[in-house]
Amino acid sequence: MYAKFWGVRGSIPAPGPQTVLYGGNTSCIEIRLASGQLLIIDAGSGIREFGLWLLANDQKQGPLKTDILLTHTHWDHIHGYPFFVPAYIKSNEFTIHGPVNYAGNLEKIFSAQMDYTYYPIKLEDAGAKVRFNELKEGTITLGGAKVTTCYLNHPILCLGYRVEADDRVICTVYDHEPYVNIFGNPEDSDEAREAQEAVDMASEKVLRHIENADLVIYDAQYHTQQELDSHRGWGHSSVEEAIANCLAARAKQLAIFHHDPTRSDEELNALHTGLRQRMQNEDKHLVIFPAKERLLVSL
Ligand SMILES: [Zn+2]
Ligand SMILES: [Zn+2]
């Protein structure tokens, strides 16, 4: 199985001379099983170019029948779909999976971006057959892949995916903010003690979600503790949090993901070099790299 990155940014596409190397497109990951089966995680702006690639490749073998797994419905995870050309081909069929939401059903939320107010073609008029599957925490089987979901800490319901296939495991943990106890010292009150227990349980669940994974694609929008602290409540993690959790869960590879739109190629290159050196110095076996558009990680 392999994972290939088509979009690695968070928040908003960030094209320009500073992001040529790592890419400016928002979340989209291709997961390809040895059988050829395709799973797509997220429909950020990266799905536009991936769609063109699919037209020149998979589509030549026949209609596409593919599952798209949405982590959640924030713009940067869905706004590429209207520009996904395979969605305009009648013989294609897509099942769009995503979290159940308190604000309405998945189909309504997803298709709202293709309302005439925002876009000239409605979802139902695009051509391809689309069905929606609302997910909670649990496990589903999609062809040869076992897909398990885990709720993450984000201002809207958001799912991490654990994809098991071909004897390998790929996990996503984005968009996700580390859980914190906002009730203070657990020794000072029952409320704070209970809050700490809840934080510990939820944090432990994320560790189990990525346990022994061959590749973890982790939200590391923030590079310093200060950046993380000044964005509490925004729903994102830091590089240190990603590393600590991947080490604790004995993951093999960590792809730093959901790069801040302001993050330049130069900064990401420096981060990569520094982390590689640090893992060597500390004699750790975790392979760490910043996710990059078109990078294919074969497992
Ligand atoms: Zn995001
Ligand atoms: Zn988000």
Question: 243-260, pLDDT tens digit by residue?
Answer: 999 999 999 999 999 999
Residue with tokens 């797994």: 69
Residue with tokens 């500073």: 18
Give the ligand with the smallest distance to the CA of 76. 1
Distance between Cα 25 and ligand 1 center (Å):
11
Q: How far is residue 179 from each of residues 151, 187, 200, 251, 259, measured CA to CA in Å?
A: 12, 18, 8, 20, 20
Q: What radius of gyration do the chain's Cα atoms show?
A: 19
Please state the rounded mean pLDDT for residues 218-222. 97
CA-closest candidate to residue 171, choices 218, 128, 127, 125: 218
Please state the rounded mean pLDDT for residues 177-183. 93
Give the ligand with the smallest distance to the CA of 157. 2
- Neighbouring C-beta atoms of residue 279, cutoff 10 Å: 17
Region label for 70, one of left (φ > 0), alpha (ψ between -120 and 50) or beta (otherwise):
beta
Cα separation, 165 vs 228, in Å, equals 34
Distance between Cα 68 and ligand 2 center (Å):
17
Please state the rounded mean pLDDT for residues 180-185. 91
Domain that holds residue 29: 2-298
> Which residue type is seen at 184?
G
As for how many domains the chain has, the answer is 1
Domain with 44 in it: what CATH number? Answer: 3.60.15.10
* Residues paired with 216 in a beta bridge: 171, 254
Cα separation, 234 vs 196, in Å, equals 21
Distance between Cα 280 and ligand 1 center (Å):
31
Give the ligand with the smallest distance to the CA of 10. 1
29 is written with which tokens? 């990951």
Give the ligand with the smallest distance to the CA of 221. 1
Give the ligand with the smallest distance to the CA of 219. 1
229 is written with which tokens? 């602290």
Please state the rounded mean pLDDT for residues 3-22. 98
Instruction: Check: CB of residue 264 under 8 Å from CB of residue 18.
Output: yes
Distance between Cα 61 and ligand 1 center (Å):
33
User: pLDDT value at position 214?
Assistant: 98
Q: How confident is the model at residue 131 (pLDDT cuts 50, 70, 90)?
A: very high
Distance between Cα 100 and ligand 2 center (Å):
15
Please state the rounded mean pLDDT for residues 156-180. 97
Q: How far is residue 44 from each of residues 7, 10, 101, 151, 259, measured CA to CA in Å?
A: 7, 9, 19, 20, 13
Distance between Cα 259 and ligand 1 center (Å):
9
The model's pLDDT over 79-126, given as tens digits with 9 standing for 90+, comes to: 999 999 999 999 999 999 999 887 779 999 999 999 999 999 999 999
